[in-house]
Chain A
Amino acid sequence: MIRNELLERVPNLTKVFRLIRSKDAGPFMLTIDLFCHDAVAYGRVVGSGQITADAFAELYGVETADVEIHLIEPIHAIKVSFPRRVASGELADSDITGGQQYGPLVELLAASELAD
């Protein structure tokens, strides 16, 4: 998908998700939270097949076996956690707090039917 086309789809995601964020869970793990607006949106996301260990392994360069996915139905949330490729504070680290790592995930979701 051409980038500008993809970017136009990104705001559509805010109709499905009220928040997507990332943060360190300690210096060695990254955790990503996706909060859906409601049960209907949550059902769509879970049913879309987009949130898989393989997809995150591919996106973030980690092993599929190291990706933990937690489905938290009561609050329509999904948590995905995996080891940081580079620990917080290493010379090669570009994101001490892990706060902007969710960007590629937003692009992946924008390219999917969830952003139609």
Chain B
Amino acid sequence: MQPLSYVALTGSLGCGFQEASLDRGVERGPAFIGSDSGSTDGGPYYLGSDAWIWADAAYERDLRLGLAGARRAGVPLIIGSCGGGGGDAAVTGYLQMTERIAKAEGWRLKVACVYTEPDRDLLRSKFDDGKLLALPGAPVIDHDTFRADGHIVAMAGTEQIQRALDTGADVVLVGRCADAAIYATIPLAAGFDPANVWNAAKIAECGAAAALNRSGQDSLLCTFDDDGFVLEALDPDVRCTPASVAAHTLYEVSDPYRLIMPSGVLDSSAATYTAVDDRRVRVNGGRWTPSDQYTVKLEGSAPLGWLSSFWGSVRDPLLLLQLPEWCAEVEDRLRTRLKEVASGAFQVQLRTYGGDGTVGRSAVVPHEAVIVLDVVGETQEEASAMARAAYHVALHWPIKGWSGGSMTTFAHPYSAPVVDRGPAYRFTLNHAMVLDEPHEAFRYETHEVGA
């Protein structure tokens, strides 16, 4: 078969890459350029609120260079999980950003958009038909899940990207997308072994992260031939080694070998990683098993409420010795006191750091501790009122052993101590949805933009 190459621009659009690396990639004659743009890594805020993860200027820089590179190479640019959460508004936002760039540069571009927020009625009927399968750790769901504010997305795979590419688009913008699908679509269509295609895609979606000595996000080149694929970082000083590549297949996954996609499962346990030279790695092997049914992963994020917080530090050893019990007493008192300043539903929690706030398991008495009070309310005004009331309760709560005068129980460096953090969200789904045919949960649009 004719060799096929592609460039993975960066692990996360907006995190940057070296322009020179992309230029080298373009010179190698890739069949496409891809970039992942999202993840659930950052928590539910992005999908819930439609906010993008990084700064607009950062996205614009990466997109402009990616578009320019794809245009020079005469190949499509494929971007998955727009905005971070992959909601519809982000797809449209990236379309608008592409249009601005195209106009400024004097380009004319055909953009295919894949929208991945399924119709709520469809989701409801799939739920009723038992076609939503709970994945490990999935929250309990019911009809309210599909009535909630926030957003629910279905994760697109290669079938949806292929449909977008079939329009002859220069740019494909996908809402929520399986990261590997960005890089698997075109090699699959070219006829390369699916096991190798998916294994390569799984590694390439992080850009040059599979390399040994990179100093930041950068671009990666993947080349397919009859004996698997070769990975090469596009910065000549950066090296991929068999160990670095194989180690990277462990990153962020619960199973090192098994990758589940809408149309099948990859088992990469038999793949071999060998050095081509001191900076390039050849990978070959693995097994792809097509599935009987076509399933897409659903992610959902809905509002939790409005959050206000304060934190303060404790240095009194006597208080430090009783801090867990002291916090429990304060929390208990707050459940009553906060009803006096807010009428809506609320949640309150008082955590401590310095002991084991990060993992929450042990009861070490530290030299100094930080207490963090979070209140979630139905409005920002209510949350703020409650946090301020909680501050006062906590600030003067008695310390057992000291008596007979007013005390201040924690230090805080800010005037005012309460921060109103805005809306908070939570993940509401971790389910696979069985589709009768791959496109039924997705919407497609094509736009001509630019000069």
Which chain A residues have a beta carbon within 8 Å of chain B's beta carbons? 3, 23-29, 31, 33, 35, 59-61, 68, 70, 72, 74-75, 77, 79, 81, 83-85, 87-97, 100-101, 103-104
Nearest Cβ distance between residue A2 and chain B, in whole angstroms?
Answer: 12
Nearest Cβ distance between residue A56 and chain B, in whole angstroms?
Answer: 12
- Whether the Cβ atoms of A23 and B45 lie closer than 8 Å is no
A24 to B42, CA, bound (A): 10
Nearest Cβ distance between residue A73 and chain B, in whole angstroms?
Answer: 11
Q: Inter-chain contact count A-B, CB under 8 Å?
A: 110
Report the nearest A residue to B45, measured CB to CB: A89
- Whether the Cβ atoms of A25 and B426 lie closer than 8 Å is no
Report chain A residues within 8 Å CB of B44. 27, 88-89
A-B CB contact pairs (8 Å), 16 listed: A3-B364, A24-B40, A24-B252, A31-B250, A35-B247, A68-B254, A72-B250, A74-B246, A79-B254, A81-B255, A87-B139, A91-B304, A91-B347, A91-B424, A97-B42, A103-B359
Report chain A residues within 8 Å CB of B374. 91
- Whether the Cβ atoms of B427 and A103 lie closer than 8 Å is no
Nearest Cβ distance between residue B300 and chain A, in whole angstroms?
Answer: 11
- The main secondary structure of chain B at its interface with chain A is loop
- Whether the Cβ atoms of A104 and B361 lie closer than 8 Å is yes
Q: Quick one: which of B30-70 are within 8 Å of A by CB?
A: 40-45
A85 to B359, CA, bound (A): 10
- Whether the Cβ atoms of B137 and A68 lie closer than 8 Å is no
Nearest Cβ distance between residue B166 and chain A, in whole angstroms?
Answer: 30
Nearest Cβ distance between residue A72 and chain B, in whole angstroms?
Answer: 6
Knowing A27-B43, A96-B42 touch, does A87 contact B358 (C-beta < 8 A)? no
Across the A-B interface, give the 8 residue pairs with the lowest CB-CB distance, nearest first: A28-B137, A81-B254, A89-B43, A25-B254, A89-B44, A96-B43, A83-B137, A75-B246
- Whether the Cβ atoms of B253 and A25 lie closer than 8 Å is yes
How many residues on the B side are at the interface (Cβ–Cβ under 8 A)?
43
- Whether the Cβ atoms of B360 and A94 lie closer than 8 Å is yes
Which chain B residues have a beta carbon within 8 Å of chain A's beta carbons? 40-45, 135-139, 243, 246-247, 250-257, 273, 301, 304, 347, 349, 351, 356-362, 364, 374, 376, 424-427, 430
Report chain A residues within 8 Å CB of B360. 85, 94
- Whether the Cβ atoms of A70 and B246 lie closer than 8 Å is no
A96 to B39, CA, bound (A): 12
- Whether the Cβ atoms of B247 and A77 lie closer than 8 Å is yes
Knowing A29-B137, A96-B42 touch, does A87 contact B254 (C-beta < 8 A)? no
A68 to B254, CA, bound (A): 8
Nearest Cβ distance between residue A62 and chain B, in whole angstroms?
Answer: 11
Nearest Cβ distance between residue B77 and chain A, in whole angstroms?
Answer: 27
Report chain B residues within 8 Å CB of A88. 40, 43-44, 427
Knowing A61-B361, A91-B374, A104-B361 touch, does A77 contact B250 (C-beta < 8 A)? yes
Report the nearest B residue to A33, measured CB to CB: B250
Query: Quick one: which of B351, B359, B374, B426 has the most chain A CB within 10 A?
Result: B359
Report chain B residues within 8 Å CB of A93. 43
A94 to B253, CA, bound (A): 20
A87 to B255, CA, bound (A): 18
The contact of A89 among B253, B351, B361, B425, by CB within 8 Å, is B425
Report the nearest B residue to A30, measured CB to CB: B254
Nearest Cβ distance between residue A10 and chain B, in whole angstroms?
Answer: 15
Report chain B residues within 8 Å CB of A68. 254-255
Nearest Cβ distance between residue B306 and chain A, in whole angstroms?
Answer: 12
Report the nearest A residue to B246, measured CB to CB: A75
- Whether the Cβ atoms of B362 and A104 lie closer than 8 Å is yes
A81 to B252, CA, bound (A): 10
- Whether the Cβ atoms of B252 and A79 lie closer than 8 Å is no
Knowing A23-B251, A91-B349 touch, does A101 contact B42 (C-beta < 8 A)? no
Report chain B residues within 8 Å CB of A92. 349
A78 to B304, CA, bound (A): 36
Given A3-B364, A84-B137, 6 extra CB contacts under 8 A: A24-B40, A79-B254, A79-B255, A91-B424, A96-B41, A101-B359
Query: Quick one: which of B243, B356, B374 has the most chain A CB within 10 A?
Result: B243
